[in-house]
Structure 1
C-alpha cells in the first residue's frame, strides 16, 4: 500500500455512493473488484484518493438512500460522458478482508447499499469475501472539473487524475466532525475486529 501520494488518484464508485460518503451518510467502502484488476485482484492500494463518480443507470434501485441533489450528481454512462466532476476526497484508516457473511451483514446500518447488492458482491467469483475500508471523507468548496478520457472507463477501480488534484488537497474540509466520525469508526471496528491493515496516519 502506498503511503505517499505521488500523483492524484481516483477511486471509481457509483455517483450516489460518492455523495453518501461526501455527505457523511456512510464512512465505508465495500469492494469485490472488477475484471480489469489484474492477477492479484482488487487491492486498496492507495491510502488517499479522490472519489471518482461513475454512472450506473440502475443504482437507484440498488441503494437504500438517494441524495437530495440526485439530479445534480447523476453521471452519464462512459460513452456519453464529456467531463468529470469531483468534489470529495477519502483518507483510508483501516482495511478488512471479510469472509464471514454475518459480519458483512451486520454493517447494514453503516452503508447505503441494499442487502441484495452486498450479498451478490460477497458471493461473486470463486471466493466469498469483501474488501472493506474505513475512510474519512473531506470535500472541496467548489467542484473540480476536467475533461473525461477514454482511459477512465472499463471495469477497474483506480485511475490516474490530472496533477492539479494534488494542489487542491489543501482546500479540503472534513465532512464529519471529529467526535461523530470517531463514534462511527469505533462502532465499525467493534463489528469487524482487527483490521487487515491500518493506515500509518
Structure 2
C-alpha cells in the first residue's frame, strides 16, 4: 500500500513542527545519501493507519540512543556516529540544519519485511538496524517515509525545552525556524528517480 501526501507546490517560509530522528539519518537525508526513513513505534496512528502530523517538517537530530546504534550502519558509514557527536550543539541546545517534505508513504506489511534487506544501495542502514526495525513488534507494519530534504543556508541553534525530551517522534518548537534560502539536497528529477527505484525494490516480487 502506498500513498502520496501531496504534489510539490509552494514551499513554506517558516516551520515549528519537527520530527525527531537519529542524527546520522538526518545527515544522510541532508547529503542525499538516502530519501527514506523507516518508522514503526512512537508514531501516532489512527485506525491502524500511519498519520503524518505535517507534510513539511524540521529535522530534529537525536543522540540519546547513539551509543546503542553501534554496528547498525553499513561499514562505509561507520564513522558517522562519532562525526555527528563532534558537531552536535554544545550544552542544552539542538542544531537544526534542514527541513523536509514528506512526499510519499509506503506501508510495508510484515510478510514483505525480507525486502528490507535488498535495497542497501538506497540507504545507510546495516542489517542489524533493519532487523531491529522488523522484529520490534513484528506483527505491526513498517512505514517507509519518502522525504525531499532542503538544507538551511546556516544552522539554527535552539535551546532544548522540557517538552522536546522523551521518546516522542513529533514535537512543536516554541519559536519558528526560518527556511529562507534553503536548497534541496537532490534535484527534483534525481529525487523522483530515487523514490521510483526504492518503491520498485520494496514492492516487486
TM range (shorter): 0.7 to 0.9
Unaligned runs of 5+ in 1: 195-201
**Equivalent residue, structure 1, for 2:59:** 51
Partner SS for 1:112: coil
TM-score, structure 2 as length reference: 0.78
C-alpha change, 1:128 and 1:119, in structure 2 (3 Å) is: farther
Match of 2:160 in 1: 148
The equivalent of 1:198 in structure 2 is: none
**Separation in 2, partners of 1:104, 1:128:** 15
**Residue 17 (1) aligns with residue 25 (2):** yes
Which residues of structure 2 form unaligned runs of 5+? none
User: Any conservation in 2 of the 1:16–1:74 contact (CA below 8 Å)?
Assistant: no
4+ runs of 1 displaced by more than 4 Å?
1-7, 36-42
CA shift, 1:142, in A, is 0.5
Q: Provide the rounded CA distance (Å) in 1 between the counterparts of 2:136 and 2:154.
A: 37
CA contact (8 A) 1:136 1:181 kept: yes
Task: Determine if contact 2:88/2:94 at 8 Å carries over to the other structure.
Answer: no
| Equivalences for residues 1-201 of structure 1 within 5 A | 8-34=16-42, 37=44, 43-55=51-63, 56-64=66-74, 65=77, 66-67=79-80, 69-74=83-88, 82-99=92-109, 100-125=112-137, 127-165=139-177, 168-193=178-203
* RMSD of Structure 2 on Structure 1 (CA): 2.9
Q: Which sits farther off after the overlay, 67-76 or 177-186? A: 67-76
Summarize the Cα distance change of 1:107–1:44 in structure 2 as closer, same or farther, 3 Å threshold. farther
TM-aligned CA distance change 1:71 to 1:153, over 3 Å: closer
Distance 1:12 1:131, change over 3 A: same
Normalised TM-score (structure 1): 0.79
User: Which stretch shifts more, 22-31 or 170-179?
Assistant: 170-179
For 2:193 and 2:46, locate their aligned partners in 1 and report how far apart those are by CA, in whole Å: 37
Paired residues, number: 187
